Structure 1
Amino acid sequence: MRAPELVGRGWLNTGGADVRLADLRGKVVLLDFWTFCCINCLHVLDELRPIEEEFADVLVTIGVHSPKFTHEADPDAVKAAVERYEVHHPVLDDPELTTWQQYAVRAWPTLVLVDPEGYVVHVAAGEGHAEALRRVIREVVAEHEAKGTLHRGDGPYVPPAAPETALRFPAKAVLTPNGTILVADSGRHSLAELDATGENLVRRIGSGSRGRDDGDAPSFSEPNGLALLPQEVAERVGYDVVVADTVNHLLRGVRLADGRVSTVAGTGNQWRDGETDGPGLEVDLTSPWDVLWWPPANGVVVAMAGNHTIGLFDPLSGEVSRFAGTTVEGLRDGAAEQAFFAQTSGLAASEDRLWLADSETSALRWIEKADDGFTVRTAVGEGLFDFGHRDGPAGQALLQHPLGLAVLPDGSVAICDTYNGAVRRYDPVSDEVSTLATEVAEPSGALIVDGELVVIASAAHRLERPVPPGLSARLVAGAAQQVRRLPTDIASGEVELVVVFTPPPGEKLDERYGPPTRLEITSSPPELLVEGAGVGTGLSRRLVIAEGIASGVLHVVAQAASCDVDAEHPVCRLARQDWGVPVRVSGGAPRRLPLVMGGMDDSAE
């Protein structure tokens, strides 16, 4: 089909100019539909960097920022995110989801490839499509070079001015034994050690450029969480602080005495499937976002945002294991190994509870020890599509994409309610939520220094003390909000769900070791699905949708393994995508629900 024109509120990274697809005839255009809260979208930004470099003279990448949360529709927040994540291509600000709907997008992230004559030739949802894109782009380039319709040269990207602040998008911080504050300076790809005031730089650990070098001249890539080890553990392992080196998919150890850095877990490859337990340096991790030593688990708990699980790292043995979660994105309590999480991004611990900020469900949750293991509970939060700023009884309170937590001296929990620009307080005794401070620029982490709450105001590039000592919390009545994605209409009764996946050129499905595909389907509420829930090997499934339930969410996790066709030692790749599809049930609606993971849905009516 002919690619619809790009329509939105404005453009970033173009020097103020608008971009039209008609102006890009002769170029291969890659549209990346993303939103900056989405960890999968951030993975794709990094996957695209080498592709953009490889095809620099023929490919124009355009980010289409289509927000999930209200805060993500703020133009200043979009501008900050484009800088924070070093997006080096034009970005269309699409706050009303106009272009999203024109392209019938159903998931973040979605990639759409447009050929030099303006026709859509390939669609892929999710991450892990880098090699497939390379192959499709090469075919498109060869075809249009032969036709004389390919034009080489520079694209419309214009880099913004370089910032001049000491910190840049700081993420988390930890108090060191000598009273200084160690900050994960994410935008500077380094650690900044500040004095106790949080204002003066003592030293910087890291080169300031993306990398993964160990030793005395280390480098990081968007570090986030920091965990201080108990002294007796630190003395045995030779490092004091564990760093969640998020974009490198690593855990790093830092020796505070001299700033020496070592890699302690992860291979540097992003986990797609397979082993999650084993020697730390042999197991793939996926976007570790926060870390915390938690005595009941006898190790460092890892918020593994990239696959919606909680990991555990034992510094003494070097082993990594799955502590909680299934990889399904959602909100489900119960036994830790069966619980659903949604991009857990903040951790804190009280005497008997491990507190978690589940950002994508705007939830505050906790893990506690049970007779037969560990149990997950939810204090605040309703699911993937409900958020807001509302105080009062926890069962009715609402947050908006919280990223950080701290336990206050009185045992209550301070919540960095990031997308509300607020600091909230949850009191476990009264089971109520209140607001401590507002107008904080994207608070992403917090810590207690001399009894006072210090908050990392990430978008303001500094540490703040927004809650004066003795200040009482105030109540904000607020309002409930929902993600503005239009629900997909489906019929009650029998429905065919089809995940569309076509191996890229030069590849075929890998059937050497059994079925090459996997499909897992659940629903919220569970009663929505009369039949069809569970795990299977085919990419199509007969569902039976309950009558009498007006709406819900289908949680779909699909993956497919494909390998090179003509190679003595074929390289194999795994494509994977998680969908949370909001659905509206009506009698006359379609009985086929296609979800494109890779390729084109040519069989749709």
Structure 2
Amino acid sequence: MNDAASAPTSASTPEPRSRARVRAPELQGRSWINTGGEELSLADLRGRTVILDFWTFCCINCLHVLDELRELEERHKDTVVVVGVHSPKFVHEAEHTAVVDAVERYGVAHPVLDDPELATWKQYAVRAWPTLVVIDPEGYVVAQHAGEGHVHAIERRVTELAAEHEAKGTLRRGPAPFTPPEPVAGELRFPGKVLTLPGGTFLVSDTTRHQVVELAADGETVLRRIGSGERGLADGAAEAAQFNEPQGLALLPGGEVLVADTVNHALRRLDPATGAVLTVAGTGAQWWQGAPTEGPAREVALSSPWDVAWFEGRVWIAMAGVHQLWTYDPASGTVAAAAGTTNEGLVDGPAAEAWFAQPSGLAVAADGSRLWIADSETSALRWIERERAHGGEDAESPGADEHSDGGGFLVRTAVGTGLFDFGHRDGPAGQALLQHPLGVTALPDGSVAVCDTYNHALRRYDPGTGEVSTLATELREPSGAVLAPGAAEETDSAPEIVVVESARHRLTRLRLPEDAVRVEAVAHRTQRAATEVEPGALRLDVVFQAPAGQKLDTRYGPATRLVVSSTPPGLLAEGEGTGTELHREVRLAGTEGSEGVLHVSAMAASCDEEGEYPACHMHQQDWGVPVRLTAGGADRLPLVLAGLDR
């Protein structure tokens, strides 16, 4: 989801593995987390294989990699040290307190370097979130991988390194320099979403403690906890069931609750009467490109479902992990992709052609006509609504739904411009700015409240006037909200709303003000150095070298895919679209000095070379590459998906 790094080779002409050894640059940043206050250097880690994980906590792909690394860390804990290098995208992510919170929130159990100025990022020529760099026990870089899906290859490499350096006498075994933080008391810890139950109590996803908690009407008193509190995937009674960082909650027509069990990549059904939990969708494994996108719900993989809502006769799922909306039909027990292409960005239109970027919050409009969407990575408020058929001709339009009345669905944007512009600015929706919103709440008057998470604010968008205003500030990472019981019937006074203040570990009750809060407008753009490229012809090369012991998997067709687009759209005169080669000749339009962003999405499938039933592996990454047209600039842009293996 970021700018691209220079690389030594292209996918079509990989260089041999034997190259000059490159000494790993020193680790530089503001401070260390999870080390008990100690600063670490590469010299301190000499003798063990080091995996640098360049991440930022807004990025769903980075969170996937954190989960991929957990088992590797455990299996190789005496020979491998994982070091997180936190490299922020959003302004809020550069706050040290926010990074400390994120480390706890996502259960990061290794040292983390807080690098707000991107010092170490630049030293390693990293251009993509996430990127993994492997350093051998003698302090040399031996591999670099951008994106997710590479841990299987890295594990094989670290196993080889352990054997090689034990034979050389350069391996030093021992535990990682990790000092866990002191546990903190409190009823909630980084709660995610909230739901009002018919009896007036609240159900809250207690995300970091892997539970769902019922609170009394006061929003504070714990009535019961559902889930053992241990990270896992287990059905059963309230005290035995297990969740893994649950988020969204939705009340089904029959009175049961659906839980988006995010890191388990599953939907769980909860019986409020008994607390019993049952998995109804997802396999427990993450969805990858090429996997089924519809079918029996327990047989189709999902990817980081973040929120759920009942709309148009079924459950809609904010599938943050693949930048889509899916649906789940409890009656038929099936799931299906409903909107989005899996490409990351902001593109409106027919549902099947739209682009999203980590949709993370859903709410049905007061009149039921549209589904509001907090599209977090584009800092956008969007919606989806039914496209009514005209004369029957639109019945087969992209995104048409077999259960509909003949029309498909359309995606529209109310606030937001794309992946790289954000801030806090009120006014006309076309000029307003948000910063990584995670929640939306439909208000009785037809407007929508937005949990503007990284601005620590509650914002309001009025479809009637097209205006955006600020309702409340000085919240702490609000991630979800719900109308207080009875608020939907209030017509003579401003309703009350209950907000999840995730980083304050509590619910906060607010009466919505009659007048907007005045704030000083600020605007930001994600800061990354633009790559200077020659106007006109440009060759894009995605570098992919199948890991040792693997080969490209062509059993079911092309093993690679490349999607290219741009912001603004006119930046690309030629070369936009989807293809199966990991290289593309494009033509850039514009005068010298013009700037824009090339959006590149790459996927490669590999399989083991040996075995009767070779395991399949998927490697994928999205880049947003800022470019500046400059005479004498580069005429080739290499992007590393997997390479530098030595």
Name the aligned partner's letter for residue 267 of structure 1.
T
Structure 1 runs (4+) deviating above 6 angstroms are none
Shift of 1:601: 8.6
Counterpart-to-counterpart distance in 2, 1:550 and 1:521: 19
1:214-244: CA deviation from partner (whole Å, max 9, x where unpaired): 011211000000010113xx5xxxxx01110
Name the aligned partner's letter for residue 323 of structure 1.
A
SS of aligned partner of 2:165: helix
1:506-542: CA deviation from partner (whole Å, max 9, x where unpaired): 1111222332111111222222112221111111111
Shift of 1:470: 4.6
The answer as to whether partners of 2:50 and 2:81 remain within 8 angstroms in 1 is yes
SS of aligned partner of 1:137: helix
Change (3 A) 1:470 1:519: closer
* TM-score, reference length from structure 2: 0.90
Counterpart-to-counterpart distance in 1, 2:513 and 2:602: 51
Deviates more, 1:421-430 or 1:488-497: 488-497
The answer as to whether partners of 2:471 and 2:513 remain within 8 angstroms in 1 is no
Q: Which of residues 137, 161, 172 is equivalent to 2:193?
A: 172
Corresponding residue for residue 528 of structure 2: 485
Q: Which of residues 244, 261, 264 is equivalent to 2:260?
A: 244
Name the aligned partner's letter for residue 87 of structure 2.
S
Corresponding residue for residue 395 of structure 2: none
Residue 440, structure 1, aligned to residue 475, structure 2: yes
SS of aligned partner of 1:286: coil
The answer as to whether partners of 2:101 and 2:503 remain within 8 angstroms in 1 is yes
The answer as to whether partners of 1:325 and 1:337 remain within 8 angstroms in 2 is yes
SS of aligned partner of 2:23: coil
Corresponding residue for residue 12 of structure 2: none
SS of aligned partner of 1:143: helix
Name the aligned partner's letter for residue 423 of structure 1.
L
Corresponding residue for residue 122 of structure 2: 101
Shift of 1:125: 0.5
1:196-222: CA deviation from partner (whole Å, max 9, x where unpaired): 111111111111111111011211000
Counterpart-to-counterpart distance in 2, 1:338 and 1:175: 34
The answer as to whether partners of 1:392 and 1:475 remain within 8 angstroms in 2 is no
Counterpart-to-counterpart distance in 2, 1:405 and 1:275: 29
SS of aligned partner of 1:153: coil
Residue 499, structure 1, aligned to residue 520, structure 2: no
Corresponding residue for residue 580 of structure 1: 624
Change (3 A) 1:192 1:379: same
Change (3 A) 1:131 1:469: closer
Q: Relative contact order, CA 8 A, sep 6+: which one is greater?
A: 2
Counterpart-to-counterpart distance in 1, 2:293 and 2:302: 8
Residue 318, structure 1, aligned to residue 349, structure 2: no
The answer as to whether partners of 2:48 and 2:171 remain within 8 angstroms in 1 is yes
Name the aligned partner's letter for residue 159 of structure 1.
P
SS of aligned partner of 1:330: coil
Residue 600, structure 1, aligned to residue 641, structure 2: no
SS of aligned partner of 2:590: coil
Corresponding residue for residue 399 of structure 1: 434
Aligned residues with identical type, % of pairs: 61
Counterpart-to-counterpart distance in 1, 2:645 and 2:465: 52
SS of aligned partner of 2:232: coil
SS of aligned partner of 1:134: helix
SS of aligned partner of 2:515: coil
Counterpart-to-counterpart distance in 2, 1:155 and 1:313: 43
Corresponding residue for residue 248 of structure 2: 225
Corresponding residue for residue 348 of structure 1: 363
Shift of 1:488: 2.1
Residue 472, structure 1, aligned to residue 515, structure 2: yes
SS of aligned partner of 2:309: strand
**Unmatched segments (≥5 aa) in structure 2:** 1-21, 389-406, 488-495
Counterpart-to-counterpart distance in 2, 1:157 and 1:228: 41
Counterpart-to-counterpart distance in 2, 1:86 and 1:407: 32
Residue 327, structure 1, aligned to residue 327, structure 2: no
- Where in structure 2 are the equivalents of 1:130-149 lying within 5 Å? 130-149=151-170
The answer as to whether partners of 2:323 and 2:355 remain within 8 angstroms in 1 is yes
The answer as to whether partners of 1:495 and 1:544 remain within 8 angstroms in 2 is yes
Name the aligned partner's letter for residue 299 of structure 1.
R
Name the aligned partner's letter for residue 146 of structure 1.
A
The answer as to whether partners of 2:422 and 2:525 remain within 8 angstroms in 1 is yes
- Where in structure 2 are the equivalents of 1:145-294 lying within 5 Å? 145-216=166-237, 217-231=240-254, 234=255, 240-273=256-289, 274-294=291-311
The answer as to whether partners of 1:407 and 1:413 remain within 8 angstroms in 2 is yes
* TM-score, reference length from structure 1: 0.96
Counterpart-to-counterpart distance in 2, 1:250 and 1:429: 37
Corresponding residue for residue 48 of structure 2: 27
Counterpart-to-counterpart distance in 1, 2:202 and 2:318: 21
1:277-310: CA deviation from partner (whole Å, max 9, x where unpaired): 1111111100000000013xx2101000000000
Name the aligned partner's letter for residue 41 of structure 1.
C
Counterpart-to-counterpart distance in 1, 2:241 and 2:174: 36
Deviates more, 1:242-251 or 1:147-156: 147-156
Counterpart-to-counterpart distance in 2, 1:364 and 1:536: 31
Name the aligned partner's letter for residue 519 of structure 1.
L
The answer as to whether partners of 2:470 and 2:517 remain within 8 angstroms in 1 is yes
Corresponding residue for residue 420 of structure 2: 385
Q: Which of residues 501, 514, 525 is equivalent to 1:457?
A: 501
Counterpart-to-counterpart distance in 2, 1:192 and 1:294: 25
SS of aligned partner of 1:209: coil
Counterpart-to-counterpart distance in 1, 2:530 and 2:243: 40
**Unmatched segments (≥5 aa) in structure 1:** 235-239
Counterpart-to-counterpart distance in 2, 1:407 and 1:73: 31
Counterpart-to-counterpart distance in 1, 2:342 and 2:625: 16
1:161-196: CA deviation from partner (whole Å, max 9, x where unpaired): 111111010000111111110101101101000011
The answer as to whether partners of 2:191 and 2:208 remain within 8 angstroms in 1 is yes
Counterpart-to-counterpart distance in 2, 1:323 and 1:511: 28
Residue 539, structure 1, aligned to residue 556, structure 2: no
Corresponding residue for residue 237 of structure 1: none
Name the aligned partner's letter for residue 51 of structure 1.
L
Shift of 1:47: 0.2
Counterpart-to-counterpart distance in 1, 2:96 and 2:514: 32
Deviates more, 1:308-317 or 1:540-549: 540-549
**Alpha carbon RMSD of aligned pairs, Å?**
1.3
Q: Which of residues 589, 601, 604 is equivalent to 1:557?
A: 601
SS of aligned partner of 1:464: strand
